[in-house]
Structure 1
Amino acid sequence: MNCVYKGFRVRDWRGGDRQIAAGLIASVLAEYGLGNEPDGADQDVLNVEQAYWETGGQFWVVEQDGRLVGTAGFYPIARGNHAVEIRKMYLLPEVRGQGLGRFLLKALEETIASLGYREIWIETASVLKEAVQLYENSGYEPTTGVETARCDRVYVKAIGEAAIQ
């Protein structure tokens, strides 16, 4: 991935982004009163090569003026119908409200569909009100089967040919 949206550069993650991305995610979680779990739910951001690249997923970062301001990724999962899970879609407070989250979600969906996947799953927490609203307004349907302790919502959306059927 390498594109620009309203002055934000979205690009593939690089090894030098590891600690900055992990810190960004931890700060957004703390903002909403959620705990960071570097040995649990958040270990994927510290192990992008194994968690994303080696599984066929992707992990992106968002830069503004050379500074990391957001993250987003996906990787294949066993549940669902040829499915992936969108993970670690976080933006710093100062860049929210500019359509960047909607842009990222659409770019993720287009990339995932182009790879032939049929479903996208997303787990989130109710306190992440902006995220919940974005997913619900983007055609994601609530379902069951939350697997991450700090999350209390899970959504699924059919994409590509599966969405047409």
Structure 2
Amino acid sequence: MLVTIIREIQPGDNEEVARVIRKVLEDLGVPKVGTAYADKALDRMYGNYDVPRAAYFVAEENGRILGCAGIAQLENYDGNVCELQKMYFLEEARGRGLGLKMINVCVNKAIEYGYEQCYLETMPYMKDAQKLYLKSGFHYINEPMGNTGHYSCPVWMLKSL
């Protein structure tokens, strides 16, 4: 039986996490500019989240990373709001409840850090992800918060913690 664990990212995970994220974005046809694909942080995710009030998690099965997500202070925003960031799962991991578990891990960490709200940005055609976010208590908002640099992501959602 396969056992999937969700754990905090380790320095040795950087290369595999970057590969997973880029693979998912390519599979979904996401623009390579104005999205997470172009983020310099993708190749050094451990260090990027090794800061106060930030955390990044991987879903691992038999030593292989199938998905990932994290939370951090919303960039360029003056308020106690975190952002659910870079949540991606390989196709083989979807539909197994791992996304909901990952969101819960991230939200619980955000609550532990004292954030009041959690924000996210996504693509209009990522309908399954949006259903998952709605099920997790996020709701749509009409405009972006902060400035993440992801100008190609025109769907914004927010959850009170």
TM-score normalised by length of structure 1: 0.83
State yes or no: 1:72 paired with 2:69. yes
| Aligned CA-pair RMSD | 2.2
**Any gaps of 5 or more consecutive residues in structure 2?**
none
State the match for 2:44 in structure 1. 47
State the match for 1:148 in structure 2. 150
CA distance in 1, matches of 2:98, 2:78: 28
1:93-112 equivalences in 2 (<5 Å): 93-112=91-110
State the match for 2:6 in structure 1. 10
User: Residue 57 of structure 1 contacts residue 73 of structure 1 at CA under 8 Å; is this kept in 2?
Assistant: yes
Deviation at 1:81, TM superposition (A): 3.5
State yes or no: 1:59 paired with 2:59. no
User: Residue 51 of structure 1 contacts residue 75 of structure 1 at CA under 8 Å; is this kept in 2?
Assistant: no
User: Residue 80 of structure 1 contacts residue 119 of structure 1 at CA under 8 Å; is this kept in 2?
Assistant: no
CA distance in 1, matches of 2:81, 2:12: 29
Could you list the per-position Cα deviations for residues 9-64 of structure 1 after superposition, in whole angstroms to 9, with x for gaps in the alignment? 11111121111111110110011101345997532232335532224301111111
Aligned AA (1:31): D
Identify the structure with bigger relative contact order (alpha carbons < 8 Å, sequence gap 6+). 2
Aligned AA (1:130): D
CA distance in 2, matches of 1:22, 1:43: 10
State the match for 2:115 in structure 1. 117
Percent identity, aligned pairs only, is: 27
CA distance in 1, matches of 2:90, 2:23: 8
CA distance in 2, matches of 1:39, 1:142: 20
Distance 1:114 1:39, change over 3 A: closer
More moved, 45-54 vs 133-142? 45-54
Deviation at 1:145, TM superposition (A): 1.4
State the match for 1:157 in structure 2. 159
Deviation at 1:71, TM superposition (A): 0.7
More moved, 147-156 vs 38-47? 38-47
